[in-house]
Structure 1
Amino acid sequence: MLTDVEFVAHFSPELGQDYRVAKSYVTDVPTQALLQIRSLTHKLTELLALPMGITFDSPNLYDRIETLNSRRVINVRVTRAMHKLRGDGNRGAHPEKYHLTSEQLQQLSEKSIERLLSLIESLFVQVTGKSLPKYHFEAFDSLAGRDLCYRAVMESDPQAQYLVGMSLKTRALMQREQELALGDEHDGKGSELGSSSETLKKAEYWFGLASTSEMDARYEYGVAKIHGYSGEPDVIAGEEAIAQAAAAGVVNAMALLGYFYLVGGKSLAVDRDKALDYLQRAADLEQSEAMANLGVLYYQEGALTQAYQFIAKAAQAGFPHAQYHLALMLARGEGCEVDPLGSEQWMAEAAELGQIDAMFSRAQSMLNDDNAFGTDLSQAELYLREVIKYGHSVPAMIELSIALADGVLGRIDVVGSASLLKLAREHGNEHELSVISPLWDSLSQQVENVIAVTKNKAELVALKRAQELLA
């Protein structure tokens, strides 16, 4: 019986090699595994198009999948499966932006491998013309990371050094997300705070070693210098390294250099033509943030049709910030026809992927609009808590406090409501405090009124605690 790696190699020798590499990264470099799977999915579109004589007009993976669907090369189920792999890869590129923990990232990479195998099973007969063979899945190799570290340390392999750096960077950024949330809950005194800084120092070290010959590492080394992974930032050195990587064709470097020329850097003056050139070159290679920034550039210049086109491409590529802005443009009819349903759908997708503003918008719609798309009060509460945790949003604190006090979520929780109002008052600006003040008085009065009449001991304990919080 074949192993899963041999099974994919029977489907396509090239994809089999890519699958083997992706699987080897799952345990120790899951973000790289997800990026490898996305790249494999891109190659799969070529494999499916070739025998049908289809030539793609765009390198954009979303467009390619939709082209295959519209030409009936793949059915709806396969289309959805390929889009799911595309989305997994996008989350792997920036796991910290999706608020993923290390455990969740590894689980996602394992699940993505399962999805890929299932997809290849469904396409095997169509692509090879042979019957589907039996195979068994071999467990993920827990020794792959050791081999990677051996090559990085003992053989000074630049690619291995780069991947070690990427593993450390990904871990550090996810640690930083958790630290910020924990620090807010404990007034900045969480016991785990600071571990991300040490991990970032290690990441910069490995990027520095690899950067002499590995251009992807040169880009990451530049980012590390700009953000001061090892202490004080060195922005000029970082910008120079990123420019060198961009000149070598590193797509993320081209996207970031284009952004620097768009807004200006320490050693780089604002230059619209250079910004447009680098962003367009990165966008042509399907770099989602470059597409989004091109959209921003054209939006600021009032070229709304062009802005819409690029923001839509970035949204389709799975970039949640672009999905949020696309939802706003569709709601307003900016550069496009007004499309309320399309707007709600993109807002829902951005929220599902953890975009803070989209989560807040969706929660408000779910709580306050009976006709909202996909109303789910438990999901609304989850979104608000995520926005408070990661976005430290006072409006979200107020919204959730009101919902808990009024029983909108199916229960009344005056302690939770009072805690949120107290937190909001500690963080609110002048305008927000003017909103909080009458809510504070109203909740205080509500608590006093119920205390005066209740005979339930448990309820009385909760009410007294709420009263203490509001004192």
Structure 2
Amino acid sequence: MRKFLSGLLGGITPAARFRHACRLLEHEGRSAQGFALLGRLARGGMVVAQYQVARAYLDGSGVPRSPLEGVRWMHRAACAGHVEACFSLALMLLVDPPGHGGDHRGADGLLPMALPEGIDRWPDPEAATGWARQAAQAGLADAQALYGYLLATGPESVRDPQAARMWCERAARAGCPQGDLGLAVTHFSASDQLPGTDPDAVAALIRAADSGLPTAQYMLGLLHERGWGLSLDRTQAEQWYARAAVQGVRPAQARYGALLLEDTGSRPRNAMTAETWLRRAALAGDREAAALLGDLHARGEAALPGDHEAMIWYRRAAEQDHAVACRMLALLYMHGRGAAADPDQARHWLARAAELGDVAAMTDLAASLVAQGQEMHSVTGLPLPDFMSAAQAGDPVAAFNLAVCLHDGVGGVTDPVQAASWMERAAHAGVVNAEYWYGRMLLDGDGVAADAVHARLWLERAAEHGLAEACVAAAQLRLEGRGGPRDHAGALALYHRAARSGRADAMFSLGAMYGGGHDLPPDRAQALHWFTQGAEGGNALSQLMLGRYLARGLAGSVDRVRARYWLEQAAAGGVRAARDELDHMTRTDEHAPT
């Protein structure tokens, strides 16, 4: 009886209610109940519950996702001294605020943006440094590494190289790979020495790279490629770039793609794989990758070569002041490749390339001006290209570029309705990217009335031309039955086409479809294959599913070592369920008979 009463009394303590709420939150069918209980505890002042409420809002667990509410509760928990909340808030304050940077998921997209009380501006690296310091002083190794990094590379008002090294060393001694990376960055950011000249920094960087940190892997590849502090070894550089690339490091993707275009003694040139990685980097904003993609299309070496595609990629690079891309774009305009011949545009981009120091462009520009009997003049202060006249004259590529400019506000004018109108013209003229964009506009009601039926038609037309992004979007519509009948077999075929183009998200979708629950016979072996492909391509959800398959033997034998590796990769990519799987594996291993 005493044990029963003791258990009953223990079950109603706040700590017991908190544990019960956390268990409910993790239960798929009772997460809302768990969140409600956590909310009552948080409003009652339980700091650890406030932190869990913040995470629930940020993850959309048990409650509709709301980054703004998540930040508000995280700030409240941090102000109460919760160490992990202090660290999390520091990380948040270093990136775009909620609702910006392409993150519009959740109810916040319907509400006016307002910073939580106590936060004056965002991002705020100085405030982030203060929160990181609080967590670092409390002994959190990850926070010590972040604090050291900010002291080394943050705003001038917080920099302290000596203290940076001390905090990074403390984190490294605690076994935190980010501490080793911080040590390397601290050394390399010093203005009085060249990268790689400090053997301690190189050793720290190697430890961080071996621990799986993608930034360290990219930096190590750079040292090998340049011969800074390590042997000049392009094979080693390529291997390190590849490891960082699959984890989403943009410059590593660009450098890996560039090296794959070289014919080395150890392997032949691989233009197709190079194009995949260059495309990922270029779409993320890397100008060198965009210029190389332009070269592949212009030379006819891309998977689907075309001058209009060359022009699109050259323009991406040129608009980021890539001198050679400016000259190549001018040559396309000069010869009417990918667009109608346009001497004014050709001269504009030659002038920009010359201004950026391209010697060949200076020669071509001089010849162009002399041919028209004009004197050499200053080429500074030229306006952005005006696509309107060419678009009105019927040039479909100019219509597409005009639509993009009007949609994104390039040149200072944003007009979604006009953007949709010009995009439709370019789509009807057969510009593949315009077909995809116009389909997305119709799907989202962006500048035009939402129309899922016609959106599906345009997206499938772009998919037929091989555009991987269109294949993924069209497959999702077939899967959901939007804009037409459900067609799981057709979706499967589209995902296969996108996967062949290197889309890791399509590989994940293939794994999910073969795994069961769709209008297709399950094939666990195929599911394992595609989850493996997606995981190696850097898709975090594929890494989670591959870890689960290997841990549970869902498609064959159990391999807990590889399962743990891929779950760790998924957890590093922000998939919370992967951390839960790892914790479950750890508990299982601890209680396993020896």
TM bucket normalised to smaller:
0.5 to 0.7
Q: What is the Cα deviation at residue 359 of structure 1?
A: 1.2
Please give the residue correspondences for 1:25-424 in structure 2 after superposition, counting only pairs within 5 Å: 139-141=64-66, 142-153=68-79, 155-171=80-96, 199-213=124-138, 214-229=140-155, 231=157, 233-258=159-184, 273-299=199-225, 300=227, 301-334=231-264, 336-341=266-271, 342-366=273-297, 368-375=298-305, 377=307, 379-389=309-319, 391-414=320-343, 416-424=345-353
CA deviation profile, 1:220-256 (whole Å, cap 9, x unmatched): 3333333342547433333333333333333233124
Q: Which secondary structure does the structure 2 equivalent of 1:171 belong to?
A: coil
Larger RCO, structures 1/2 (Cα 8 Å, 6+ apart): 1
For residues 443 and 23 of structure 1, the distance between their equivalents in structure 2, rounded to whole angstroms, comes to 69
The one-letter code sitting in structure 2 at the alignment partner of 1:316 is: V
Query: Percent same amino acid among aligned pairs?
Result: 20
Please give the residue correspondences for 1:15-34 in structure 2 after superposition, counting only pairs within 5 Å: none
If the length of structure 2 is used for normalisation, what is the TM-score? 0.44
Q: Which secondary structure does the structure 2 equivalent of 1:243 belong to?
A: helix
For residues 57 and 184 of structure 2, the distance between their equivalents in structure 1, rounded to whole angstroms, comes to 34
Match of residue 77 from structure 1: none
CA deviation profile, 1:233-284 (whole Å, cap 9, x unmatched): 4333333333333333332331242355578666999666534432232223
Q: Which secondary structure does the structure 2 equivalent of 1:164 belong to?
A: helix
Change in 2 beyond 3 A, CA 1:348/1:8: farther
Q: What is the Cα deviation at residue 424 of structure 1?
A: 3.7
Match of residue 528 from structure 2: none
- The answer to whether residue 357 in structure 2 is matched with residue 428 in structure 1 is yes
CA deviation profile, 1:171-219 (whole Å, cap 9, x unmatched): 28x999xxxxxxxxxxxxxxxxxx9997333333333333312333333
Match of residue 7 from structure 1: 28
For residues 336 and 222 of structure 1, the distance between their equivalents in structure 2, rounded to whole angstroms, comes to 40
Q: What is the Cα deviation at residue 298 of structure 1?
A: 3.7
Whether contact under 8 Å (2:250, 2:286) holds in the other structure is: yes
Q: What is the Cα deviation at residue 140 of structure 1?
A: 1.2
The one-letter code sitting in structure 1 at the alignment partner of 2:329 is: L
Q: Which secondary structure does the structure 2 equivalent of 1:7 belong to?
A: coil
Q: What is the Cα deviation at residue 360 of structure 1?
A: 1.0
Q: Which secondary structure does the structure 1 equivalent of 2:95 belong to?
A: helix
Q: What is the Cα deviation at residue 166 of structure 1?
A: 1.5
Q: What is the Cα deviation at residue 363 of structure 1?
A: 1.5
Change in 2 beyond 3 A, CA 1:417/1:6: farther
The one-letter code sitting in structure 2 at the alignment partner of 1:254 is: D
Q: What is the Cα deviation at residue 348 of structure 1?
A: 3.3
For residues 223 and 134 of structure 2, the distance between their equivalents in structure 1, rounded to whole angstroms, comes to 36
For residues 364 and 76 of structure 2, the distance between their equivalents in structure 1, rounded to whole angstroms, comes to 59
For residues 207 and 285 of structure 2, the distance between their equivalents in structure 1, rounded to whole angstroms, comes to 28
For residues 275 and 87 of structure 2, the distance between their equivalents in structure 1, rounded to whole angstroms, comes to 40
Whether contact under 8 Å (1:308, 1:335) holds in the other structure is: no
Q: Which secondary structure does the structure 1 equivalent of 2:290 belong to?
A: helix
Whether contact under 8 Å (2:57, 2:63) holds in the other structure is: no
Change in 2 beyond 3 A, CA 1:422/1:203: farther
For residues 198 and 436 of structure 1, the distance between their equivalents in structure 2, rounded to whole angstroms, comes to 43
- How many residues are paired up? 312
For residues 358 and 171 of structure 2, the distance between their equivalents in structure 1, rounded to whole angstroms, comes to 42
Structure with more helix by fraction: 1
For residues 55 and 190 of structure 2, the distance between their equivalents in structure 1, rounded to whole angstroms, comes to 37
Match of residue 73 from structure 1: none
Q: What is the Cα deviation at residue 150 of structure 1?
A: 1.0
CA deviation profile, 1:19-43 (whole Å, cap 9, x unmatched): xx99965976xxxx6xxxxxxxxxx
For residues 228 and 359 of structure 1, the distance between their equivalents in structure 2, rounded to whole angstroms, comes to 30
Q: Which secondary structure does the structure 1 equivalent of 2:94 belong to?
A: helix
If the length of structure 1 is used for normalisation, what is the TM-score? 0.53
Q: Which secondary structure does the structure 2 equivalent of 1:249 belong to?
A: coil
Whether contact under 8 Å (2:314, 2:326) holds in the other structure is: yes
Whether contact under 8 Å (2:333, 2:346) holds in the other structure is: yes
For residues 392 and 241 of structure 1, the distance between their equivalents in structure 2, rounded to whole angstroms, comes to 38
Change in 2 beyond 3 A, CA 1:418/1:433: closer
For residues 345 and 428 of structure 1, the distance between their equivalents in structure 2, rounded to whole angstroms, comes to 30
- Structure 2 stretches lacking a partner, 5+ long: 1-23, 32-50, 102-119, 375-388, 394-594
**Larger Rg computed on CA atoms:** 2
Match of residue 68 from structure 1: none
For residues 124 and 244 of structure 2, the distance between their equivalents in structure 1, rounded to whole angstroms, comes to 31
Change in 2 beyond 3 A, CA 1:269/1:294: closer
